[in-house]
Structure 1
Amino acid sequence: MKTIQWYPGHMAKARREINEKLSMIDVVIELLDARIPVSSQNPVIDELVQHKPRLILLNKTDLADPKQTEHWKHFFERQGHAVVEVNSQTGQGVKKIVPACQALAKDLYRKWESKGMKPRALRAVILGIPNVGKSTFINRLVNKRQAKVGDRPGITKQQQWIKVGTSLDLLDTPGILWPKFEDQEVGFRLAATGAIKDELLDYGDVAAFVLRYCLDVYPELIKKRYQLDDDIDGEDMGSLFDEIGRKRGCMLRGGLVDYDRTAELLLRELRSGTIGRITLERVPTPE
């Protein structure tokens, strides 16, 4: 697979606009996909936000392996970040956001108090890669439809300020991907969860990556969903696609398996959680 490069003009513009607004921001909120926490963490954001207090939200926890989500939460806390688990669809964890931002801004409150200033609403910026669920999360947070929502990356095209009650002003930003992914597995994970537009990668390659990973880490979920034998050969992708395609009716004329439909089915069922709660990367082992 070639190095993935995807840096549309609106993303370069978004990065520039975020940089321009940072001087007035008190807290940075970073939304990550709980299924791929590091792969969905944009390294450009580290360069942008530098020493600003950061709240990490692990989103889509309903689709992720709960044990792995707990491991990832501790991982980011050890790095010095506050972490909240959220589910934008149900609203789980959303009520914790404003208090978490206020806790991160305690030094700022002390500064205002020492100068005899009346506290104003905190200003936070929310950052995340495309299709991480940012717009759905914001609508949950403000309890109304403020941000456009879609199931494909790149819905938010421009910045907008959104009031969250009287205590928080939130700057919404377009999702930003970085110019290229040196680690090809990062590209596969982003493609598997829908963060990269589907037409940029081959469905078959991404589905094969998911199958190999799940047969290694979550074999029972895959075998149960697709009625595979216990002695199935996880290295023989052709036979695996044949068996899944036949059992799920993804067929062409002449009795041949439609590999494209089989791959599409697998990715659709991964993204919806139909296969089960799956996390596609593990916390790094300390060296």
Structure 2
Amino acid sequence: MTIQWFPGHMQETEKFLKKAVSSVDTIMEILDARLPYSSANPLLDKICKNVFRLKILNKQDLADPDVTLSWLHHYRDIGENAIAVTGTSPVETWRAAEYALAGINRSKSRRIRVMVAGIPNTGKSTIMNSLAGKKIAKTGNTPAITRHQQRTSLKKQIDIYDTPGILWPILENKNGAYRLAVSGAISDTAIDYSDIAMFAIALMIKRYPERLKQRYGISIQEPENSQSADFEETEPLKILEEIGTTRGCLKKGGVIDYQKASELFIRELRAGKLGRISFETNQEAMEEQKALLEEWKSQVQYNDLTSTK
């Protein structure tokens, strides 16, 4: 499955960001703590490279704490600024805001301009509401709820700007695209629940098998070679069938309703019903990034050779 989702308003947001970045003092880039690499928009690296930027790993209450700590160490090691928060906590969000402000030269003669940016459904509006102490921005589990720029005046001489979430037109990293779909960053109308459920179950088997057993009361077979193609294809399907059976996702005659079972599993996973789970580690992300770079280099060399013929 190739996932592409780039609504028209996102193109307008990209144009707006390029224009607005020059007038802000600092940028709070909101990432999903469960998948910091996949939820980071590479467009921001180009658009925001001359402005102090703080990466905020939001939804840390849903992520594996050990993996989140590893990500924070990774960002520190490569010289990037990062902090993990739970967006519904005003104490944590204000600590992040103070961190962002500490990276700039503040002037008491004017208000400080802070931009909140990131891909859909990472919790930008939730953080805005926590900072304001009231509901000023729409929130929800549907990506791209924010459609236009929103400016709010906060205490401590701060003006904060919320922007619509933007994805990039083509998601080159297949695994990253699947992780985004599992997390809810991509509209459900652009995905196949059964497809992403199989991907997510395979991830759970690899990293958190006990969570599956505890939540659904099912058994997981571990053959000698759990990396075999047969196992990777058949075991997730078997578990999805068991989830469908135990949760009553059945059609007439006791036939399993795969779509219903898939939706149930994905919604429970997103809501944290299976515990604090991270969808990627920094080691995996760096390996994928390296592989994509090698693939890009090979494609460039191929294009150069063919263009000379």
The alignment's TM-score, normalised by the length of structure 2, stands at: 0.85
Paired with 1:192 and 1:223, the residues of 2 have a C-alpha distance of 20
Mean alpha-carbon deviation: is it higher for 77-86 or for 251-260?
A: 77-86
Amino acid at match of 1:51: N
Amino acid at match of 1:145: K
Q: 1:48 maps to what in 2?
A: 47
Contact 1:98 1:168 in 2 (8 A): no
Find the residue that maps to 1:56 and give its secondary structure.
strand
Find the residue that maps to 1:207 and give its secondary structure.
helix
The 1:92/1:281 distance shift into structure 2, 3 A limit, reads farther
Paired with 1:230 and 1:183, the residues of 2 have a C-alpha distance of 29
**Mapping of residues 79-228 of structure 1, within 5 Å:** 79-91=78-90, 93-105=92-104, 108-109=105-106, 118-228=108-218
Paired with 1:96 and 1:90, the residues of 2 have a C-alpha distance of 10
- 1:181-210 CA deviation, whole Å, 9 max, x = no partner? 011111111110111011211101100000
Alpha-carbon deviation of 1:97? 2.6
The runs of 5 or more residues in structure 1 that have no matched partner are 113-117
Q: Indicate the structure with greater helix content.
A: 2
Q: 1:269 maps to what in 2?
A: 268
**Mapping of residues 65-80 of structure 1, within 5 Å:** 65-80=64-79
Paired with 1:156 and 1:86, the residues of 2 have a C-alpha distance of 21
Find the residue that maps to 2:283 and give its secondary structure.
coil
Paired with 1:238 and 1:81, the residues of 2 have a C-alpha distance of 40
Q: 2:304 maps to what in 1?
A: none
The runs of 5 or more residues in structure 2 that have no matched partner are 224-230, 288-309
Paired with 1:171 and 1:230, the residues of 2 have a C-alpha distance of 47
Find the residue that maps to 1:210 and give its secondary structure.
helix
CA RMSD of aligned residues (A): 1.7
Alpha-carbon deviation of 1:92? 5.1
Alpha-carbon deviation of 1:230? 4.4
Q: 1:241 maps to what in 2?
A: 240
